[in-house]
Amino acid sequence: MLIKNVFIEGPDCSGKTTVINKIHRHTNYRYHMFDRSRMSQFIFSWMYERHRKEYSILYKEEREDLSNFYVVLLPDIEEVKRRFEKRGDEIHDEAGIEKVYNEFKKHVERSASQPNIVVIKSNKNQWVDVLGAIENYEKKKEFNVIKHLVYNRHEKEATNIRLTEVGKIADLKKDTECMKFKKEKEYYESIERDFIQKFIDEVSGLNEYSRKEQFDSRRFIYTSDTCISSIHAYAREDTLYFNAYMRSSNVDQVKHDYNFIKNMLFVFRNLFAGTFQEYFNYYKFNLAFGSAHVVRKEK
């Protein structure tokens, strides 16, 4: 799982700055880390009665990008108070510190279904636990994170979720199991045929412009009103960009959907190399879901 951003969250005096600095030193700035995120903006907007709908929308958008990872620090409240007495705070008194602490605690309890939000409760050497949580999230498979998210939602659906992968093309491994998934085998094969035909038509000039598309074309795209709704591929500099959108996905088969769409990267790479003799070292894969859900069985 690629982590684009690590947000270190929590109340004042919870240890955020110390954790960030120690992880940066230990990992040689491996992660893009932030002290606070839209989560704080959302929580504080309710605390100070300045709630605006856009705060909620922006926080949800940030949170539903599963390539963003949140770590909320919640050491014992007595430890937080001890740190406050030692260093003070420009905004809050002790009662205010405790109020903020309780608001964060309530928020993460309500967010228990979110797989990219973890809570660290340790008082000492927090950075070790935080780094462990980050590394554990990196090891997770994207489709498992999506499935976890949906199954832990009361409504058994998550909307507008997104994730990103970036890597070396040489490290990509093609999945062969998804094409053995009988339920969708013919569907996947039809998408692959349509995508290949679209590419052939564009480079042959069979389009409304009667123009033979070149290696920098923006027209290598598959579209449909079916569940896998679009795949848009293009090449720039040393990277293949691959953007896909699923309007709907049954999470019980999201593993196959995900791996099939990612396999289409191989198809595009081979088409591109065979046609233009252009080769690339890197890829960026963006996948978005309108709805990922559990299919309700009819009674």
CATH assignment at residue 89 = 3.40.50.300
Choice among 25-39, 44-58, 185-199 with the minimum mean pLDDT: 44-58
Q: Is residue 150 part of a domain?
A: no
Q: Could you read off the pLDDT of 180-234 as tens digits, one per residue?
A: 999 999 999 999 999 999 999 999 999 999 999 999 999 999 999 999 999 999 9
Strands (E), the chain: 5-9, 33-35, 68-73, 117-120, 157-168, 221-223, 228-236, 239-246, 249-250, 282-293
Instruction: Report the mean per-residue pLDDT for the chain.
Output: 94
- Provide φ and ψ at 181, rounded to 5°: -75, 100
Class of residue 247 by CB neighbours under 10 A (exposed 0-12, middle 13-18, buried 19+): middle
Q: Could you read off the pLDDT of 101-156 as tens digits, one per residue?
A: 999 999 999 998 899 999 999 999 999 999 999 999 999 999 999 999 999 999 99
- 130 shares its domain with 165: no
Q: Is residue 272 part of a domain?
A: yes
Q: Is residue 43 part of a domain?
A: yes
- 68 shares its domain with 180: no
- 133 shares its domain with 183: no
The pLDDT of residue 124 is 92
Q: Is residue 148 part of a domain?
A: no
- The bridge status of strand 5-9 relative to strand 33-35 is parallel
Instruction: For residues 55 and 39, give the distance between their C-alpha atoms in angstroms, rounded to a whole number.
Output: 9
- 133 shares its domain with 200: no
Split into its structural domains, the chain has a count of 2
- 208 shares its domain with 255: yes
- 88 shares its domain with 211: no
How crowded is the C-beta side of 284, counted as CA atoms within 13 Å? 10
3-state SS assignment for residue 265: helix
Mean pLDDT, to the nearest integer, of 23-28? Answer: 98
Rounded to whole angstroms, what are the CA distances from 54 to 59, 114, 289? Answer: 8, 20, 21
Tell which of 108, 140, 172 closes a domain: 140
Answer for the pair 89, 98: CB distance below 8 angstroms, yes or no: no
Residues across the chain? 299
Rounded to the nearest 5 degrees, what angle is found at the Cα of 131, between the Cα atoms of 125 and 136? Answer: 135
- 71 shares its domain with 184: no
How many other β-carbons are positioned within 10 Å of the β-carbon of residue 271? Answer: 18
Tell which of 105, 140, 175 closes a domain: 140
Q: Is residue 252 part of a domain?
A: yes
- 124 shares its domain with 185: no
Tell which of 107, 140, 173 closes a domain: 140
Answer for the pair 130, 27: CB distance below 8 angstroms, yes or no: no
Q: Could you read off the pLDDT of 252-287 as tens digits, one per residue?
A: 999 999 999 999 999 999 999 999 998 899 999 999
3-state SS assignment for residue 173: coil
- 172 shares its domain with 132: no
- Domain assignment of residue 274, given as a range: 159-293
